[in-house]
Structure formats: structure tokens, C-alpha cells
Amino acid sequence: MTKCEELYEFYKKHPQAKNPEVAEALHWDPYYVRKYKFRLKARGLIAVTPEGVITAPPFTDEEIKEPSAKLAAYQHLYDVCIERLETKDMSDGQFISLVQEIRMILAKM
């Protein structure tokens, strides 16, 4: 079973789980939870809502559409912002600087 499949199955059983809880339960580094959660969202297999994670039935390879690089970057930025709100890993000033720098890069894409 791939890591994406493992995470998908975990969310089917535990839709309310937050990233730190998932990392602990699966014995993963939190980075991998974010990485594979992003991939599942990009493929349309999960949706993240305030109530938790909603899983969708798996798609065939033909139905999976990769998002544009810019859209994928915005989605990743959103994930980073949400995680930052949950964990407070960096200071407010560092966080604001990071978001501004990423937005400048995306504007040039």
C-alpha cells in the first residue's frame, strides 16, 4: 500500500483527525502528512472542511487531472497557512514575510 493509499484509508476511518494526530498514529514525520494530504486533495480524493476530511471514491487514472502549477502552489500555500494557524511553528513576522514572498513568486508565474 502506498503512503497516499494509507493516508486515504486513515481519513476514511478518522475524518476528524488533525495533522499532528495523523503523524503520530501512522508514525510519520508531519512533513509527509502534509505532502500526501496535498496530493490527495489535488487528485480530488479528499476535501478538507472545518468539520474534518471528506473522502471521495477513488478515481481511475483517466479521471485524475493535475492542477496547474500556479493552482497547486496556491493550494500548498493554503495548507501551510492552515497548519501554521494550528501549530504556530514560526513567528508572526516570519509567517507574513513568507506569505508575501510566495505571493510575489506566484504573481510572476
What's the pTM value of the predicted model, to 2 decimals? 0.53
Q: In what helix (H) or strand (E) does residue 99 lie, and over which residues does it extend?
A: helix 92-107
Q: State residue 61's pLDDT score.
A: 47
**Residue 9 and residue 36 share a domain:** yes
Last residue within a domain, chosen from 56, 82, 99 = 56
Most confident of 20-34, 38-52, 93-107: 20-34
Range of the domain at 50: 3-56
**Residue 39 and residue 75 share a domain:** no
Structural domain contains residue 75? yes
**Residue 7 and residue 38 share a domain:** yes
CATH number of the domain residue 46 falls in:
1.10.10.10
Q: In what helix (H) or strand (E) does residue 102 lie, and over which residues does it extend?
A: helix 92-107
Query: What's the mean pLDDT in 73-78?
Result: 75
Phi and psi at 76, nearest 5°, equal -65, -40
Overall domain count for the chain? 2
**Residue 46 and residue 16 share a domain:** yes
Last residue within a domain, chosen from 13, 33, 56 = 56
Structural domain contains residue 61? no
Q: How many residues does the chain have?
A: 109
